[in-house]
Amino acid sequence: MKKQILAALLAASAFLGGCQMMEQKQEIPTVTLTLANNLPAQNSTSKAIDWFAAEVEERSSGRIHVEVYHGSVLGDSPSCLEQLRYGGIDMVKTDESALANYVPEYFAFVMPYVYQDTEHFRKVHRGEIGMEILRGSAMAENQMYGLTYYDGGARGFFSKKPVYTLKDISGMLVRVQGSRLMMSMAEALGANPVVLEYDEVMGALLKGGVDAAENSLVNYAQEGYASTAPYYIEDGHTRIADILVMSTVMRSKLSKADLEMIDEVALESWEYQQKLWDEAEQQVREQLAEQQTAVFTPDDTVLQKFRSACEPIWASYDDGVYLDLIDRIVAAGRM
């Protein structure tokens, strides 16, 4: 009889212990967040996103899993942003040009020749100006929350013949993105803008459809344009930040502590991405030097002529509505 009672007590104890374990597990739910990235996996920003995903999972003790889809697997940036607004995708790596369609203040950030150098660009984005837009009311109104910026590098022109001065680019057929701002910039420089999808650029250069295009030095080298357009001018006409955005629909389902952790890791991932980008840029400089590719860095006198040609866009674009913000961005470079 005593053995039967003891067995019953042990069974009850095991049952209660199992119930407690189940309750503990139920108190720690697991969530999977989808993250759409339009860049290839080997890109510096993509590597920083992978780091972000791994850190979020580790710091949440495995409760939060970020499932990353590189290379536009879930669609292009505009379509993914639309899905994010309604909770279909939890996070999207986009850029300032795409976000400007929802938050027009970002047009000020992508104006031509608004930044002096990389330090100026990073100072603006990590400082008060960049953060107040990234996590401001206009983003919230579109069900978006900005987690962090990433450095996409300064963009320059690459061409089939050398561009050393403003006069050299005059009359050139220059491929630009299909945006009013980029077309206005090309026209202000005296070039003829040609709107093409990016995957059409190489063919157009080979067949004579365009004389030049523009991108960062890293993308220019890594995507093999040096053999077709062997001249690159580092005029830094635009610096367009990549941005990691999170859906406010998903944020409403997470705890305050988890949100603070995600925000912190996101900003840390930008620090990591900057290091990766700087290393990639140094590597391609060495690669292009070995290939004897003509990379030209204009002096201040030459660069000022490019800038002066485009400065009227600052005041004329959308009737100058962004001029005050542009003035703040420019002034930050003098501090």
Q: Are residues 269 and 197 in the same domain?
A: no
Angle of helix 323-332 relative to helix 118-126, nearest 10 degrees, comes to: 120
Domain count, the chain: 2
Q: Are residues 227 and 100 in the same domain?
A: no
pLDDT digits (tens, 9 = 90+) for 266-281: 999 999 999 999 999 9
β-pairing, 64-69 vs 31-37, is parallel
Q: Which residue has the higher pLDDT, 77 or 311?
A: 311
CA-based nearest residue to 212, from 185, 188, 189, 193: 193
DSSP state of 198: G
Q: Are residues 48 and 194 in the same domain?
A: no
Q: Are residues 169 and 191 in the same domain?
A: yes
pLDDT digits (tens, 9 = 90+) for 11-49: 555 555 555 555 444 456 699 999 999 999 999 999 999
CA distance 102 to 126: 21
CA distance 189 to 113: 12
Residue 9: the pLDDT is: 47
CA-based nearest residue to 99, from 203, 246, 312: 246
Residue 16: the pLDDT is: 53
What sign results for the dihedral spanned by CA atoms 93, 122, 184, 161?
negative
Q: Is residue 66 part of a domain?
A: yes
Classify residue 19 as left (phi > 0), alpha (psi -120 to 50) or beta. Answer: alpha
Q: Is residue 161 part of a domain?
A: yes
Q: Is residue 164 part of a domain?
A: yes
Q: Are residues 119 and 98 in the same domain?
A: yes
Q: Is the pLDDT of residue 5 over 90?
A: no
Q: Are residues 198 and 306 in the same domain?
A: yes
pLDDT digits (tens, 9 = 90+) for 176-200: 988 899 999 999 999 999 999 888 9
pLDDT digits (tens, 9 = 90+) for 140-174: 999 999 999 999 999 999 999 999 999 999 999 99
Q: Is residue 100 part of a domain?
A: yes
Residue 4: the pLDDT is: 55
Domain assignment of residue 108, given as a range = 29-151+240-282
Q: Is the pLDDT of residue 108 over 50?
A: yes
Q: Are residues 258 and 275 in the same domain?
A: yes
| pLDDT grade for 122, boundaries at 50, 70 and 90 | very high
Q: Are residues 85 and 209 in the same domain?
A: no
What's the CATH code of the domain at 171? 3.40.190.170
End-to-end CA, the chain: 87
Q: Is residue 65 part of a domain?
A: yes
Region 217-238: what's the mean pLDDT?
95
How does the average pLDDT of the chain come out, rounded?
A: 92
Q: Is residue 123 part of a domain?
A: yes
β-pairing, 192-195 vs 242-247, is unpaired
Region 219-237: what's the mean pLDDT?
95
Residue 334: the pLDDT is: 82
Q: Are residues 96 and 38 in the same domain?
A: yes
Under 8 Å CB-to-CB from 181, ≥6 apart: which residues? Answer: 107, 110, 111, 112, 313, 317
Q: Is residue 210 part of a domain?
A: yes
Q: Are residues 110 and 178 in the same domain?
A: no
Q: Is residue 314 part of a domain?
A: yes
Tell me which of 248, 263, 282 is where a domain ends.
Answer: 282
Residue 173: the pLDDT is: 97
Q: Are residues 198 and 305 in the same domain?
A: yes
- CB count within 10 Å of CB 65 equals 14
Q: In Å, how far from its chain's centre is CA 41?
A: 14
Paired tokens of 99: 């976000």
Residue showing tokens 């997470």: 254
Counting residues of the chain whose pLDDT is more than 70, the rounded percentage is 91
Q: Are residues 141 and 165 in the same domain?
A: no
Rg of the chain over Cα atoms, rounded to whole angstroms, equals: 25
pLDDT digits (tens, 9 = 90+) for 54-72: 999 999 999 999 999 999 9
